[in-house]
Amino acid sequence: MRKLIIIALLLASCRNEAKPVSKSEAAVPAQDSFYVRQTEATAEQFNQAFKESNTKTKTALVFDSLQHQKTGTTLKLSIANGSAVSLTDNTGTPHDEDRVTNKYIGQDTVLNRYVVEQKLYESRRYLLIDKKSGSLDTLPGLPYSSPDGKVIFCSVYNPYEEYANMPPPTQDIYFYHVNNGVLQKIHGQPYKMFIAERVWSGSQTLLVRYDPNDEPDQDKTGLRYASFNIVSRKAESKVENAATPGNKGFDATKWAGSYEISVDGEETTTGTSSISYIKGGK
């Protein structure tokens, strides 16, 4: 039997004013604004995205390593304002562990940045150098930017024992959001997902072909597929609010009244009942 329950929602018509927040306090880290949702994908999805990327998507990373050669141990890259960024190798001073070798490998045409590989004592990293300002960002892996230049993906094979819940080796996967030229990390996590190929499907979804084992599968019979979707919490919240039944965007600071709620089920106090809809405000 359907029962109608009148629930009075008495909302205060005034609220205490919020304390003003400075810009620095109001700044939200990228990981609080975006998150990465990882799901399974299919070979068909990957192949279709790969086909479209070859015909529609502008190639971001151009490998033109011969354009900028080192003079001795110094690499010099020209900046738009007439100055230059200079990177000098460290041949092992004062210790071998301090060794750094710089190599220009290309430029990201979407981000308008030089890409420099730095070989360290037991690892390597990559520098993104803004061609206009000379500002520098460091990434653990080779950057792969989305078609709109707002997200950067990179990954690195990690043979070291660094994670308590996952034995080595791992494939460490990172995503960065580019906000007005500033890189903010939104995801960094180890996986047992050794990537063979990757491709952007649009600007918010990255598809990868990977091997779950660290030994490459030469005949590709063991390869699997995954999707990494960059989700905006703000956009997701707007969608959820818009989908709420009866939500007409009333202002809780100015409205007071009651709602009539229809409840299904014989016993409204048990878990078998469910709210089915909200019928307007009175």
Q: Which residues contact 179 (CB under 8 A, 6 or more apart)?
A: 30
> How many residues belong to the chain?
282
Predicted pLDDT at 265: 39
pLDDT confidence tier of residue 14, bands split at 50, 70 and 90: very low
Q: Do the Cβ atoms of 126 and 102 come closer than 8 Å? A: no
Write out pLDDT tens, residues 59-101: 688 999 889 999 999 999 999 988 999 999 999 999 999 999 9
Q: Do the Cβ atoms of 45 and 88 come closer than 8 Å? A: no
Of the given ranges (48-57, 102-111, 262-271), which has the lowest mean pLDDT? 262-271
Predicted pLDDT at 23: 32
Mean pLDDT calculated for residue range 39-66: 86
Predicted pLDDT at 137: 96
Q: Say whether pLDDT at 257 is over 90.
A: no
Highest mean pLDDT among 5-14, 58-67, 104-113, 231-240: 104-113
Distances (CA, A) of 41 to 122, 130, 196, 219, 241: 34, 34, 15, 20, 29
Question: Given strand 257-264, what is the order of strands in its sheet?
Answer: 3-9, 257-264, 274-281
Identify which has the larger pLDDT, 75 or 272.
75
Q: CA nearest 64: which of 117, 103, 107?
A: 107
Domain boundaries along the sequence of the chain: 243-247+257-282
What's the mean pLDDT when you consider all of the chain? 78
Mean pLDDT calculated for residue range 135-159: 95
Predicted pLDDT at 220: 65
pTM beyond cutoff 0.75: no
